[in-house]
Amino acid sequence: MINMFQPQVGAEELEAVSEVFDSNWLGYGPRTKAFEEDFADHIGVPSDTVLFINSATSGLHLAMELLGIGPGDDVVLPSVSFPANAHSVAASGARPVFCDVRPRTLNPSVADIADALTPRTKAVMLLHYGGQPGDIVAISALCEERGIPLIEDAACAVGSSVGGTACGTFGDIGIWSFDSRKIITTGDGGMIYVRDAALARRAHRLAYHGLDERGAFAAAANEPHRWWDQAIQDIGRRLIGNDLTAAIGRVQLRRLPGFIERRGAIMAEYDRLLADTENILCPPRLPAGHVSTNYFYWVQLDADLRDVVAEDLLRSGIYTTYRYPPLHKVPLFGAEADLPGTDAAEVTTLLLPLHQALTDADVRRVARNLVAAVERRTLRSAG
């Protein structure tokens, strides 16, 4: 089976884990701090504004708490989002308000966001679809103008940027995922960036039981008397990462440029092999100044072809999928919205396998089977 997603880990990561074992310190410690510093340097922000956490989902829930979002508030987000985005809003007691996306990019435009704002909007939560930055510059300007905090779900955008500014740093809070399907992985884990220094300090407390310092008892560590006393300022939880997974993350972050380069080559090969193929639309080209991590490669087919072509590919050993099924259609969220761009994308979009371990032969096989399935199904439909 040619997988949709596949991590690439090996000897370097194993050696890093072995060093952690030898140190006898597995929890939050020097390697976690070093990973935070490395990541902060990667996105161009101060190191004390980022925190390595146990998942991006934890980061979304933490963002709600940091911004004081709760009952009576609205949070605007694209319907094409991962369920965790809407879950974090609903769990806070606020209402998720879903906006439309452009059917070709699957990212919202600034007009889509503006149209969804309500008098109760407390925040905007933006997803960078497939690692593509989208209309982030205009959307961040709109939020700043309206005084609305912007949360960036940059889970798929660990190397994406516009004009040299990293995705995840345009808004007030940015969140990245390092789960097993992401470009760089720590197995599970994530990173959160909080622009405001005071809120960033609070994020560190909330992520570790409300304690004043990440080092648990560090507030009293320099005192020779009663060093075990705790300085608890908030009701917190345990969301922090650890040295074991951080050691893997540091290696993966160093390998990121090579990962992105390989993924870009795969996308270019898909473009070449599928160019001008009847009944197959390739992804639109990025605007000038936009850099993507190339997390998704999607094609768009006629609505009556998409599902049957996916079934044909699965039978031939090629896994494809669609992400993300629209959240405004999930009864749990009680949303009523007319989102034609989202609806169009849902029935036409198919993601092809894309990960840095794909071989050139794999890419050719996927493209060849896709074209054959589309041609075969088109002929049957016409007949």
pLDDT of residue 379: 82
pLDDT tens-digit series, residues 96-121: 999 999 999 999 999 999 999 999 99
What domains, with CATH codes, occur in the chain?
Answer: 11-252 (3.40.640.10), 259-382 (3.90.1150.10)
pLDDT tens-digit series, residues 121-178: 999 999 999 999 999 999 999 999 999 999 999 999 999 999 999 999 999 999 999 9
pLDDT tens-digit series, residues 285-324: 999 999 999 999 999 999 999 999 999 999 999 999 999 9
SS (H, E, C) the chain: CECCCCCCCCHHHHHHHHHHHHHCCCCCCHHHHHHHHHHHHHHCCCHHHEEEECCHHHHHHHHHHHCCCCCCCEEEEECCCCHHHHHHHHHCCCEEEEECCCCCCCCCCHHHHHHHCCCCEEEEEEECHHHCCCCHHHHHHHHHHHCCCEEEECCCCCCCEECCEECCCCCCEEEEECCCCCCCCCCCCEEEEECCHHHHHHHHHHCECCECCCCCCHHHCCCCCCCCCCCECCCCCECECCHHHHHHHHHHHHHHHHHHHHHHHHHHHHHHHHCCCCCCECCCCCCCCEECCCCCEEEECCHHHHHHHHHHHHHCCECCECCCCCHHHCHHHCCCCCCHHHHHHHHHEEEECCCCCCCHHHHHHHHHHHHHHHHHHHHHHHC
pLDDT tens-digit series, residues 193-205: 999 999 999 999 9
pLDDT of residue 160: 98
Q: How many CB atoms lie within 10 A of CB 290?
A: 17
pLDDT of residue 130: 97
Nearest one of 8, 22, 19 to 246, comparing CA atoms: 19
Torsion over CA of 156, 238, 220 and 229, rounded to 10 degrees? 170
Q: Which residue has the higher pLDDT, 282 or 230?
A: 282
* Positions marked catalytic: 182
Q: Angle, to 10 degrees, between the axis of helix 303-315 and the axis of helix 360-382?
A: 130
pLDDT tens-digit series, residues 325-339: 999 999 999 998 999
- Interval 31-59 mean pLDDT: 98
Q: Is the pLDDT of residue 34 over 90?
A: yes
pLDDT of residue 223: 60
301 close to 348: Cβ distance less than 8 angstroms: yes
Q: Angle, to 10 degrees, between the axis of helix 243-274 and the axis of helix 30-43?
A: 30
Mean pLDDT over each residue of the chain, to the nearest integer: 95
